[in-house]
Structure 1
Amino acid sequence: MKTVYETDTFKKQADKIWAEDERLAFVTYIAENPDAGDVIPNAEGARKIRWNLGGQGKRGGVRVIYFNVSEDLLCLVAIYKKTEQSNMSAKKIKEVH
């Protein structure tokens, strides 16, 4: 299981979207499944994972952008609702990383 680091940007975004128990469930899952997300092309190894949001399913849920920093560390950099933003560009991901 990896250690999960949450950037300040991620924390602010997550606080607006998730209750603490939802956040903990995701962090536990991603720590145990660090390669679950799809690699984003041209984004320096960033991954995007789809996660359901309160009964909306994966399609209407959230997207979390993260990096596998090392064998032991994973960094959560951004979260957004699919209904509010379709995708995050590789350029934007590099900026928040």
Structure 2
Amino acid sequence: MVIIESSIFTKLIKELMSDDEYKDFQEVLVNRPDTGDLIQGSGGLRKIRWKLERRGKSGGVRIIYYWVTADDQIRMLYAYPKGKQENLTKEQLAVLKKMIERWSDGQ
């Protein structure tokens, strides 16, 4: 399994998680790429809710990714703190869907 990160994801995840926390998350995701909930109307995007240790009740993160089963890839797209928002806006969802389409077209 290969994990590929968008540039915005890399920037955001460094702000939200320590290297050790992200490593733990990656191990879980590689072993169970279907862990995240499918986002309705997204074309296959998934959202996983990840609790962070010692960060309080609202200290978790939401991570949006796309699992490409044929290529055995997980494409990490976006991350945000739980306290910031619960779900993606329609605009955010549209942008992420376009990212997947461009990625699939090889751009």
Task: Give the TM interval when normalised to the shorter protein.
Answer: 0.7 to 0.9
Provide the aligned C-alpha RMSD in A: 1.9
Aligned-residue offset at 1:57: 7.1
Counterpart residue number, 2:52:
53
Structure 1: give runs of 5+ residues left out of the alignment: none
Aligned-residue offset at 1:90: 4.7
- Structure 1 runs (4+) deviating above 6 angstroms are none
Q: Which range is displaced more, 53-62 or 65-74? A: 53-62
Which residue identity lines up with residue 61 of structure 1 in the other structure? G
Which residue identity lines up with residue 11 of structure 1 in the other structure? T
Counterpart residue number, 1:39:
38
Gap change, CA 1:50 and 1:37, over 3 Å in 2 = same
Instruction: Work out whether 1:92 is the aligned partner of 2:76.
Output: no
Q: Which range is displaced more, 81-90 or 27-36? A: 81-90
Structure 2: give runs of 5+ residues left out of the alignment: 100-107
Aligned-residue offset at 1:70: 2.8
The structure whose residues are more often helix, as a share, is 2
Identity %: 33
Instruction: Work out whether 1:20 is the aligned partner of 2:19.
Output: yes
Aligned-residue offset at 1:94: 3.4
Check the 8 A contact 1:3/1:73 in 2, yes or no.
Answer: yes
Aligned-residue offset at 1:65: 0.3
State the structure with more CA Rg: 2
